[in-house]
Amino acid sequence: MNEIWTEKYRPKTLDEVVGQNSVTDRLKGYVEAKNMPHLMFAGTPGTGKTTCALALARSMFGDSWRGNFIELNASDDRGIDVVRGKIKDFARTAPIEGAEFKIIFLDESDALTNDAQGALRRTMEKYSKTCRFILSCNYSSKIIDPIQSRCAVFRFRPVSNTEIQKVVDRIAAEENLDLGEGAVEALIYIARGDVRRAVNTLQTAASLGEQITPDTIAKVSGSANEDEITDILKSAMMGKFNDACNKLDNVMITYGLSGQDVIRQIHAEISKLGLPIESKVKLIDKTGEIEFRIIEGSNEKIQLEALLAYFALVGEKN
């Protein structure tokens, strides 16, 4: 297990990318035309943005793709000097082995400062004949409008549970993993549309050298078992407030969770509770308020118990 599975099983072609058919179909058109504009890939982490950029370069340039493609992480080098140095130097050199242009892939480009983005806009204009840019970001709103208007924008949606299960099943078969009952469902619950998180969690769980169970996955992923969170909320709504607080303490200690970790899982479970819509709206509103208080520095234990108290009040009315 010396190899990182997210790299070992990374798709090499656009046809292998899962869960983004609408995106890959459009990218295949660029490959057939042997030409492309500047691109912007926007979406949540682990949905295939970097994979699509690499697969596009492989398909576009063939064996010479490494010489005509460079990947930079803008969160590491985010200042104007990088745009004027590394990026400009690569952009103004000619492509190799008969390629019409080169590709610069800027990962996490929403971390670039405004000054750097301003310089990048000019570079994109000046060297468009010899170089194309692919900007990857989680929040496209942080990219200045002049750059967005120069790019064809691709929106990456969270990968569906079915597609994540296919990836997990394939890796489990090739690595001869022993998946216990409910393990795949636990991975899907933790991933929440992020394939990378699912694969990394699976590899970490497999490194323990035993059957992979929901409990194993919960412990290595830094999140509680879904059933345990549901049990806490139901105990609170049934009026067993002290019992709910004790269960919450046990879960946080067992899995080493922070208040924000618990809040996120509680938020995900509210929609699954058998409550009227009006009650769910109130609970979500209160959950958001408690999360804000924790982020601002309030005591996690007090705030989480206050949230459970509110669940108890809502449960009493229902």
Structure tokens at 218: 């919960």
Residue whose tokens read 């942080």: 142
Please report, for residues 174, 177, 184, the alpha-carbon distance to residue 170 in angstroms, rounded to integers and kept in the order given: 6, 10, 12
CATH class of 161-221: mainly alpha
Q: Does domain 5-156 have CATH number 3.40.50.300?
A: yes
Domain limits, CATH 1.20.272.10, in the chain:
226-317
Q: How far apart are CA 252 and CA 256, in angstroms?
A: 5
Domain limits, CATH 3.40.50.300, in the chain:
5-156
Within 10 A of 295 (CB to CB), how many other CB atoms are there? Answer: 11
Domain limits, CATH 1.10.8.60, in the chain:
161-221
Q: How far apart are CA 54 and CA 64, in angstroms?
A: 13
Q: Are 114 and 18 in contact (CB under 8 A)?
A: no
| Per-residue model confidence as pLDDT tens for the chain (318 residues) | 568 898 889 999 999 999 899 999 999 999 999 899 999 999 999 999 999 999 999 999 988 898 889 888 766 655 566 667 777 888 888 888 888 899 999 888 888 888 888 888 888 888 888 899 999 999 888 999 999 999 999 999 999 999 999 999 999 999 999 898 889 999 998 898 999 999 999 999 998 877 898 888 888 887 888 888 999 999 999 989 999 999 999 988 888 888 898 999 999 899 888 889 999 999 999 999 999 999 999 999 999 999 999 999 998 887
CATH of 226-317, one of 3.10.290.10, 1.20.1560.10, 1.20.272.10, 3.40.50.970: 1.20.272.10
pLDDT computed for residue 196 by the predictor: 92
Within 10 A of 285 (CB to CB), how many other CB atoms are there? Answer: 11
Residue whose tokens read 């919450």: 248
pLDDT computed for residue 77 by the predictor: 58
3-state secondary structure of 43: strand
Through-space distance between the first and last CA atoms of the chain, rounded to whole angstroms: 51
Estimate the crossing angle of helix 21-33 against helix 49-61, to 10 degrees: 20
61 φ, ψ (degrees, to nearest 5)? -110, -10
Identify the DSSP state of 83: I
Cα 118 to chain centroid, rounded: 27
pTM, two decimals, is 0.82
Structure tokens at 76: 């590491």
3-state secondary structure of 44: coil
List strands edge to edge, sheet with 131-137: 69-73, 102-107, 131-137, 38-43, 151-156
Please report, for residues 177, 201, 225, 269, the alpha-carbon distance to residue 213 in angstroms, rounded to integers and kept in the order given: 11, 12, 11, 21
